[in-house]
Structure 1
Amino acid sequence: MELNNATSILSTLGHDGRLSVYRLLVRRGPVGARPGEMAAALGLKPNTLSVYLAALEAAGLIHARRDGRAIHYSADMARMGALVDFLVADCCRGRPDLCLAPQDGAALKGRAMRETPFNVLFICSGNSARSIFAEALLRDLGGDRFNAYSAGTAAFSTLNPFAVELLTRNGHDIAPLRAKSIAEFQTPEAPRMDFVFTVCDAAANEDCPPWPGQPVTAHWGLPDPVKQQGTEAEKSLAFAQTYARMRQRIQAFAALPLDQLDKLSLQRHLDDIGRPITDDPA
């Protein structure tokens, strides 16, 4: 990277609003986010957000893609990686006792995941449906390879009755399930997570502190069936569709050969699992 390019990037990020937008997109990973979501999450006016997005795109920090009528913005992590490499190149004249050498993706190759069972946490806003589905599904489909947990950033006090009825009908044990706050998993006594998945966009947009141990993370967002309007049948259908889509993702995750994948390969698999599903599952 040339000096003028680095200067342009740093100048662009040297603004509270633009930096907040960029950090949100980094949290959203390769799937990205729509302008409406970002404006709501950050409390920005649409025209203000447009100015910030244009500046970030001009600096090469983000890129846009069209999905039907919607536009998704994503952070260009390769661009940021090049900036970091430029900033720390020849760090301390190569003194390893003073600073860490720059790492690229290849440095993660060969890092083995620890032995199972893996601790897996699913996060959404209310912890009343989507994350509860994920917890119940992984407990049943993952066997003794995983310890499944779920939590909400603003957890409700009770589980959604449609979710409870659907889980019961599909043979899941609902006795261990309850709505929980994410705070339960941020204490020193809490289990150390190996994987943390956000399953709703609102939770993915939250600016949360780093998880101890640097777990592998991904965003597996699905529409909130709790917000479905209409008849009882229409609401039940929305929950059934969300459950079926989550089941597809949990099945794909549980089938991954975790002991054979390096961290970069694993991250790609998890991102692929979380990509938007365009067709309703059969």
Structure 2
Amino acid sequence: MESLLINRLTTLSHPQRMAVFRLLMRRCPDELPAGEIVEVLQIKASTASVYLAALTQAQLISQRRDGTRLLYTINLDAAREVVMGLFVDCCRGRADLCPPPFSDLLRGLSPIADRTFNVLFVCTGNSARSIFAETILRDLAGDRFTAYSAGTAHRSSLNPLAVDLLRSKGHDVSPLRSKNIEEFHGADAPQMDFVFTVCDHAANEDCPAWPGQPVSGHWGMPDPVKATGTDAQKRLAFHQTYGALRNRITAFTALSFENLSHAALQKHVDDISKITAT
């Protein structure tokens, strides 16, 4: 086991191999084609192939063929083994030697207490998908959740079709405004319990870690703002996005938070990402 740990740490010691690993970790449980990895990290395809082969050989990531494409995903078991190898074996099981809050993870987090949770939905523009999610959660379970949304882009505005759809569904749109994610990284910002990315671009970005180790999830879906065709086809794209998000948030709010550990809750959040509008 020690030689395997050293091999994996050696593989991760290369900055760009680590960048690939971190990207796949951020997109967990998604499978990414090699082409998207190349595009996001702005590296040559041949170079990416070498990095992916090394990470696969170290069992840090998994590879699957889908037709002519190779899809890659993080190997969570291996990632856990690296972390546990460092902090459990090297610290000899003494959680007090590990940096907080990791020592809490070694002991196992208790189920989340019965309280109001802060939830942030992140997208690139904060104009449609994240706005939908914020509004749906506020109206479905505003007594148990305080919903926020933000974009990673510095300039954005609410999409008129998104606002019109929310009005047509009976939602109050008066609290909505387009916000940048920096607003939620300040010293006075509310501490988040859950952070969800609802677009691939936002999930791909290497953002600062959130304080308090919130449960995070990637609920990516196509951007309805980019839909083409007739006005009816464009509106349909917004309806489908709204429907998928409503189904996911309905499933999320139905979870028994008081009975779930941090790890179990993370598993449910990952599973919810597969729910569609149908």
Q: Give your verdict on TM over 0.5.
A: yes
Alpha-carbon distance in structure 1 between the residues aligned to 2:152 and 2:188:
19
Match of 1:254 in 2: 253
- 2:181 partner amino acid: I
After the TM superposition, which residues 66-77 of structure 1 pair with which residues of structure 2 at under 5 Å, given as runs? 66=65, 71-77=70-76
Deviation per residue, 1:113-172 (Å, 9 max, x gap): 133211000000000000000000001111300000000000543211110111111111
Would the aligned equivalents of 1:29 and 1:75 in 2 still touch at CA under 8 Å? Answer: yes
Is contact 1:152–1:182 with CA below 8 Å preserved after alignment?
A: yes
Is the contact between residue 123 and residue 150 of structure 1 (CA under 8 Å) also seen in structure 2? yes
Counterpart of 1:176, as a letter, is: P
CA separation of 1:71 and 1:243: change in aligned 2, threshold 3 A? farther
* Secondary structure of the corresponding residue to residue 62 of structure 2: strand
% identity of equivalent residues:
55
State which drifts further: 13-22 or 77-86: 77-86
* Counterpart residue identity of residue 198, structure 2: V
The answer to whether the 8 A contact 1:81-1:104 is kept is no
Q: Per-residue CA shift, 1:191-212, capped at 9, x if unaligned?
A: 1111000111111111111111
CA distance in structure 2 between the partners assigned to 1:61 and 1:249 by the alignment: 29
Does the Cα contact within 8 Å between 2:95 and 2:106 map onto a contact in 1?
Answer: no
Match in the other structure for 1:158: 157
CA contact (8 A) 2:247 2:275 kept: no
Aligned to 1:170: 169
CA deviation map 1:215-269 (0-9, x unaligned): 1111111111111122211111111111111111010011111111111111111
Matches within 5 A, 1:210-249: 210-249=209-248
Q: 2:123, 2:201 within 8 Å by CA — same for their partners in 1?
A: yes
Secondary structure (helix, strand or coil) at the match of 2:201 reads: helix
Q: Using a 3 Å threshold, how does the CA distance of structure 1 residues 69 and 179 change in structure 2: closer, same or farther?
A: farther
Task: Indicate the residue corresponding to 2:148 in structure 1.
Answer: 149
Equivalence for 1:38: 37
Partner residue, 1:18: 17
Does residue 1:128 correspond to 2:134, yes or no?
Answer: no
User: Per-residue displacement from partner, 1:93-115 (whole Å, max 9, x unpaired)?
Assistant: 66665446997977325x13133
Shift of 1:73: 1.4
| SS class of match (1:55) | helix
Answering whether residue 108 of structure 2 is matched by residue 108 of structure 1, we say: yes
How far is 1:68 from its partner? Answer: 6.5
Distance in 1, Cα, partners of 2:75 & 2:135:
35
Q: Determine helix, strand or coil for the equivalent of 1:30.
A: coil
Distance 1:18 1:171, change over 3 A: same
CA distance, structure 1, for counterparts of residue 200 and residue 106 of structure 2: 30
Give the conservation status (yes or no) of the 8 Å contact 2:197–2:220: yes
Measure, in 1, the Cα distance between the counterparts of 2:204 and 2:186. Answer: 21
Counterpart-to-counterpart distance in 1, 2:234 and 2:200: 20
- Rate the CA distance shift 1:276–1:16 in 2: closer, same or farther, 3 A: farther
Deviation of the 1:64 alpha carbon: 2.1
2:67 and 2:268 map into 1 onto residues whose CA distance is 24
Q: Closer, same or farther in 2 for the Cα pair 1:265/1:96, shift >3 Å?
A: closer
Q: Aligned in 2, Cα 1:98/1:257: closer, same or farther, shift over 3 Å?
A: closer
The aligned residue for residue 28 of structure 2 is: 29
Q: Distance in 2 between matches of 1:104 and 1:238?
A: 43
- 2: CA distance, partners of 1:100 / 1:180: 33
Q: Secondary structure at the match of 1:64?
A: strand
- Superposition deviation, residue 31 in structure 1: 2.1
Shift of the 51–112 alpha-carbon distance from structure 1 to 2, 3 Å rule, reads same
Query: AA paired with 2:219?
Result: W
Matched-pair contact (CA < 8 Å) for 1:128–1:155: no
Change (3 A) 1:139 1:90: closer
Residues 70 and 223 of structure 1: CA distance in aligned 2, closer, same or farther (over 3 Å): farther
- Contact kept, 8 Å, 1:198 with 1:220, in 2: the verdict is yes
Name the residue aligned to 2:118: 119
Note closer, same or farther for the CA distance 1:67–1:118 as it changes in structure 2 (3 Å cut). Answer: farther
Q: What is the TM-score normalised by the length of structure 1? A: 0.90
Q: Which amino acid aligns with 1:227?
A: K
Q: Alpha-carbon deviation of 1:67?
A: 5.5
Would the alpha carbon gap of residues 161 and 8 (structure 1) be closer, same or farther in structure 2, given more than 3 Å must change?
A: same
